[in-house]
Amino acid sequence: MSNDTLALAQTLIACRSPTPDDGGCQEILIGRLQKLGFQIERMRHGAVDNLWARRGTTAPLLCFAGHTDVVPTGPLEKWDSDPFTPAIRDGKLYGRGAADMKASLAAFVTAIEAFVAAHRDHNGSIALLITSDEEGIAVDGTVRVVETLEARNEPIDYCIVGEPTCVDQLGDTVKNGRRGSLSGTLMVKGIQGHIAYPHLGKNPIHLAAPAIAELAQTEWDQGNEYFPPTTWQISNINGGTGATNVIPGEVKILFNFRFSTASTVESLRTRVHAILDRHGLDYDLLWELSGKPYLTPRGSLVEAIGRAIKNVTGIEPQLSTSGGTSDGRFIADICPQVVEFGPRNATIHKLNECVEVDDVERLAQIYRLTLENLLLQR
């Protein structure tokens, strides 16, 4: 399986697929999956290619989810080799998307091929949910497929997202949840005036400062077993005309919550408004929810992939909810158990992105053993 997985990963890396382009990756995957009896649904929305492929009609349904799109390469002259010409050097496979996440896509396919060859009459069903809109704005990708599945009452029992999760070595980290992301655009209003006559103006920066201090010092929650406490951070403040002798008429503040399951969107919004109102501010506040938090506690999926990782690597993986958002936030709406597991993330989005060659085969072995742990009759 190792040579086949590596070869498929190289083929996928050679497909130029900057967001939202798929670059032909999904058709390559479809060609392999159709031979296994998968039913193929192409779901194109706007400029985004999505794939839903399913083998079997019974529960439980185990879905592998991922994306074919990649981030921009950055300056080509700073790469040691062409980012879309896969290269192996010193035991590493180089190329844009090698770790994020074309090695995982290849491992999905070869793991399924090996599993089906050995267990053609296995219990349950297997699916793949693949998009070309994960690295971008993510409005026409996985979320659209999830909406379609939800509308026709087609739930998923287990989902493995192939995001690169490991830190120091393959197998050390499984993501069993992610924090939510809630952003706010706050406009605090004042009265513009001459700096020499402050009594005729009203400085919104001065007015907002005590409220900002309170927001920054507030404990929003204490987290829980799986999540650190919720955090509130300002990302940008902008006010004034650029002149040194003008009191600004308004100040614009951009902020973001990264929040755990210990808080809700409504509780955070209510508490922010209460603080702003208590300080007597004249303001407008627009909210944007980028993703709700999700959590998969220890259970059948976490245990199944943990046993597979231990079998292949000898490592007991740590559970983590760190990092940014992923498409797991959408899938969690129709799937009670979602985890993320993939190769090391040390080089993702960087120049000379790479993955250990040996890890490509071992990743496929882990996915195959997870299939056995969940879908074979015991």
- Whether the upstream peptide bond of residue 86 has omega within 30° of 0, thus cis, is no
Rounded distance between C-alpha atoms, residue 318 and residue 322, angstroms? 12
Using only the alpha carbons of the chain, give its radius of gyration. Answer: 24
DSSP summary character for residue 326: -
Please give the DSSP secondary-structure letter assigned to residue 76. Answer: G
- Can you name the residues that pair with 247 across neighbouring β-strands? 193
Q: Based on the residue annotation, tell me whether 69 is a catalytic residue of this protein.
A: yes
Burial classification of residue 278, based on how many CB atoms lie within 10 Å of its CB (0-12 exposed, 13-18 middle, 19 or more buried): exposed
Tokens 């010092």: give the residue.
Answer: 217
What letter represents residue 120's amino acid?
R
41 is catalytic: no
| Beta carbons within 8 Å of 243's beta carbon, 6+ residues apart | none
Proportion of the chain in helix, strand, coil states, percent, rounded to 5: 35, 25, 40
Query: The tokens of 162 are what?
Result: 């192939």
φ, ψ for residue 189, nearest 5 deg: -100, 140
Q: Give the number of other Cβ atoms within 10 Å of residue 313's Cβ.
A: 18
How far is 99 from 349, CA to CA, in rounded Å?
A: 9
Report the 10 Å Cβ neighbour count for 65: 29
> ω into residue 101 within 30 of 0, thus cis?
yes
Number of neighbouring beta carbons within 10 Å of residue 279:
18
Q: Give Cα separations from 88 to 23, 82, 109, 355, 356 (angstroms).
A: 22, 12, 21, 10, 9
Which residue of the set 22, 49, 134, 353 is catalytic?
134
Nearest to 70 by CA among 10, 128, 133: 133
* Given 22, 69, 135, 359, the catalytic residue: 69
Q: How far apart are CA 261 and CA 278, in angstroms?
A: 27
- Annotated catalytic residues are 69, 134
